[in-house]
Amino acid sequence: MKKDFIIRKITALGLAALFASVSLTGCGETAFSSSGSTASTAQAKKELKFSKSQGPYSELFQKGVQPILEKKGYKINAVDMSDLSQADSALNDGEVDFNVEQHVTYMNNFNKTQNGHLAAVTPIPTVPAGIYSGSKTALKQLTDGSKIAVPNDAANTARAYVLLQKAGWIKLKAGIEPTKATQEDIAENPYHIQFVEMKSLNIPSVRSDFDFIVITGSIVYNAKIDPSTALLEEDILPDLMLHLVVKDSDENSQWAKDIAAAYQSDEFKTYLDKNNNGLWTVPDYSKK
């Protein structure tokens, strides 16, 4: 009797263990299926957030690119950002999905100094930096000791000095990296130009205090300066073309590919042809 009871108990325990094993296996399969579904959902993501600034690049995206994406079923939400540093932090922290406001040099600097994980997906139309008049209205009016305002953020400071070298006003040291040029890299300054490095946003409001100013395209746009009045425009280096930027974990997502395709589409080209107004330098997408 006692022996039969022990056998029945062992059998019951064995069956319980078996059912528990089956149950756990079933849960494991469900979890795996759920995980696969989550991955699939991430790839099929259709609602996106981007960081919006007051400038030409967000406006170009909203007017020329967003309608193309909406036809593909995307819903785009804009999140206002006060500056690009804030926008990159928000992107890096996953608060937004992408931005369209920066060149690769700026992005690389953010990744290096802020432990960022951002990636450039495709170049996008860019407004070149230019030399604009201050108190002087023509390049030939440069005189000894002229005073010139240039942006003080590293990447755009370099653009300014490369542009001033193009004008023939200074000469940079041989062999330097153009996207990293600083005032210390000026080898020759025959006109003894006085350079004042200051925040880009402030330059247009004090332009009459300088003989000439150097400003980037977004500043030209925000200050409502006619880009055709530039006395000289830069030759935009590849690393200074603006890009669609995402987190590196999203670089190969379907939605990132779809945004890039929208920028490179014939429909967007048609929009640009009608709305360029001499403002944009457009990448050669045939080389992609």
Residue 144 binned pLDDT confidence (cut-offs 50, 70, 90)? very high
Write the CATH number for 66: 3.40.190.10
Same domain membership, residue 241 and residue 229? no
Q: CB of 56 within 8 A of CB of 223?
A: no
- How large a percentage of the chain has pLDDT more than 70? 84
Do residues 62 and 203 both lie within one domain?
Answer: no
Q: Is residue 29 part of a domain?
A: no
Residues 244 and 121 reside in one and the same domain:
yes
Confidence (pLDDT) at 90:
97
| pLDDT beyond 80 at 98 | yes
Over residues 13-32, the pLDDT tens digits come to 444 443 444 333 333 333 33
Work out the pLDDT band at 288, boundaries 50, 70, 90.
low
Question: What value does the mean pLDDT take over residues 52-70?
Answer: 93
Query: Do residues 146 and 196 both lie within one domain?
Result: yes
Does 114 map to a domain? yes
245 domain residue, yes or no: yes
Q: Please, where are the H alpha helices in 44-153?
A: 56-60, 66-71, 84-92, 104-113
For residue 287, is it within any domain?
no
User: Which pLDDT tens digit goes with each residue over 212-242?
Assistant: 999 998 888 888 898 889 999 999 888 889 9
Contact (CB, 8 A) for 209 and 134: yes
**153 and 121 share one domain:** no
The reply to whether 114 and 152 lie within a common domain is no
Domain carrying residue 241 = 45-125+237-273
Q: Is there a domain that residue 9 lies in? A: no
Going by pLDDT thresholds of 50, 70 and 90, the confidence category of residue 153 is confident
**Residue 114 reports pLDDT greater than 60:** yes
Give yes or no: residues 172 and 227 share one domain.
Answer: yes
Is the residue at 28 inside a domain?
Answer: no
Query: Which amino acid makes up residue 273?
Result: D
Asked whether residue 7 is domain-assigned, the answer is no
Whether residue 18 is contained in a domain is answered as: no
Q: Check whether residue 117 and residue 139 sit in a common domain.
A: no
Does 83 share its domain with 147? no
Percent of the chain with pLDDT over 90: 66
Q: Are residues 244 and 120 part of one domain?
A: yes
Residues near 73 by beta carbon (within 8 Å), at least 6 away in sequence: 46
More confident site: 182 or 218: 182
Q: Which of 186, 205, 234 is the last residue of a domain?
A: 234
Question: What does pTM read for this prediction?
Answer: 0.75
Model pLDDT, residue 55? 80
Per the prediction, the chain carries an average pLDDT of 86
203 with 259, same domain? Answer: no
The average pLDDT across 77-106 equals 94
Domain count for the chain? 2
In a shared domain, residues 149 and 215:
yes
- Please give the pLDDT value at position 285: 86
